[in-house]
Amino acid sequence: MLQVNFIKENKERVLNGLKIRNYSEDQLGVIDEVIAVDELRKSTQTELDALLFERNSLSKEVGALYKAGKRDEADGIKAKVGQLKEKVETLQQQLKDKTEALANLLYTIPNVPHESVPGGNTDEDNEVFQAWEKDLPTLTETALPHWELAKKYDLFDLELGNKIAGAGFPLYRGQGAKLQRALINFFLDEAAAAGYEEIIPPLLVNETTARATGQLPDKEGQMYHAEKDDLYLIPTAEVPITNIYRDVILKESDFPIKLTGHTPCFRREAGSYGAHVRGLNRVHQFDKIEIVQIEHPDKSYETLNVMLEHVKSLLNKLELPYRILRLCGGDLGFTAALTFDFEVYSAAQKRWLEVSSVSNFETFQTHRMKLRYEDANNKKHLAHTLNGSALALARIFAALLENNQTEHGIKIPKALQAYTRFELIRNK
């Protein structure tokens, strides 16, 4: 969430940012509301602090008077302090209310988009940041979409997944399962080679954790919730991994912190339907390797580029055609300041599939998380967080099947063969 002081000092910038996110004039009122509530909060605290000061000083006197044996005098002061009590309680309640009201307002305000974020409403308006310059693969008339290929080669089974869990929970088997595992290991090894420390985090997280990275309250309905224990199934490894550094004060020399992790990701995807969700295009559970960096604010955009390069190299090694989009204001996530999406071309479906999202959150997450660093003058500042998928498996898997299908079987890209230990997925 944004800091009140930041909003006050950069009001125009914040308002413009919200406009890029297509806020109406009416909705922009929230900014003035925040400022007003904060003024009330401050004046309440000033009043309360003065009252508490009085109470504390008088109470100290009582102690001293008792020691000196002056009971009567002490009792007089006791009565006086007793009278303050009601007012203290009222003010304390008010302060609590105001603080809460402020927090609730701030929770509704999304991050300020980076200056490069274009306007626009939907994913149609995203800017093609890097197009695919070479020819797109073309397949024969008889080419199959991945869900058909899965049947032909027995790679995954949606019906069985449905039987066991429900729609959108794929079950991989045989060479399909092996290909999944190969991709996971490949991505993790590549991340390790790029200097990321591997983490295996919990797959369920508590409310504080989900709130810190901004999934709550914004994406409440998108996460699976184990109500009995009040835990959320992670929608991405970003959540538990970034939270490692919640409430931490770093030294400048600690930067950059680079973490990676493979986890399944669980998403309810409420409201999704239609042809675009066929097969593995949109599922409730998929595997993803996430890369996370915690950076010095001066370097975070440089680091964002480095992360883009990492994802590019993965796709190049997998020999998949891809393009990079810069998300427009309307498509940009609530917590992100700047996001680049990677899409791979699915030749059989003749469409682009999103396989990675690389974002800079600046201080939006670190403010909630209280993740700070200390500069040379011992001043504390909020750090920047970044993360990206490197990569999300289900759609990569789909694209690999479709693009590499031949009449003899499905070719495995060279870089992956060391992991799969087969070069071709053949009909049984």
Residues that bind RNA (CB under 7 A): 38, 42-43, 45-46, 48-50, 52-53, 55-60, 62-63, 66-67, 78, 81-82, 85, 249, 372, 374, 378, 380
Query: Residue 141 in 3-state DSSP?
Result: coil
Q: Answer for the pair 371, 147: CB distance below 8 angstroms, yes or no.
A: no
Hey, what's the torsion of the CAs at 288, 294, 295, 296, to 10 degrees?
160
Nearer to RNA, 164 or 249 (CB): 249
Query: Residue 69 in 3-state DSSP?
Result: coil
Residue 215 and residue 334: Cα distance in Å, rounded? Answer: 9
CB of 45 to RNA, least distance (A): 4
Nearer to RNA, 154 or 374 (CB): 374
CB of 66 to RNA, least distance (A): 5
CB of 387 to RNA, least distance (A): 24
Amino acid, single-letter form, for residue 154: D
CB of 223 to RNA, least distance (A): 20
Q: Answer for the pair 280, 402: CB distance below 8 angstroms, yes or no.
A: no
Amino acid, single-letter form, for residue 30: V
Per DSSP, the chain holds a count of helices (H) and strands (E) of 13, 18
For residue 200, what are the β-bridge partners? none
Nearer to RNA, 341 or 362 (CB): 362
CB of 78 to RNA, least distance (A): 4
Nearer to RNA, 208 or 305 (CB): 208
Q: What is the DSSP code string of 1-27?
A: ---HHHHHHTHHHHHHHHHHTT--HHH
Residue 88 and residue 150: Cα distance in Å, rounded? Answer: 68
CB of 90 to RNA, least distance (A): 12
For residue 381, what are the β-bridge partners? 373
Nearer to RNA, 233 or 382 (CB): 382
Contacts 24+ apart (CB under 8 A), 171-180: 175/420, 175/422, 175/425, 176/150, 176/397, 178/420, 178/422, 179/155, 179/397, 179/400, 179/412, 179/416, 179/420, 179/425, 180/287, 180/393, 180/397
Copy the structure tokens of residue 418. 């060391």
CB of 94 to RNA, least distance (A): 13
Residue 295's contacts (CB-CB under 8 Å, 6 or more residues apart) are 255, 256, 257, 303, 383, 384, 385, 386
Nearer to RNA, 45 or 108 (CB): 45
CB of 225 to RNA, least distance (A): 17
Residue 28 and residue 122: Cα distance in Å, rounded? Answer: 20
Nearer to RNA, 81 or 204 (CB): 81
CB of 46 to RNA, least distance (A): 3
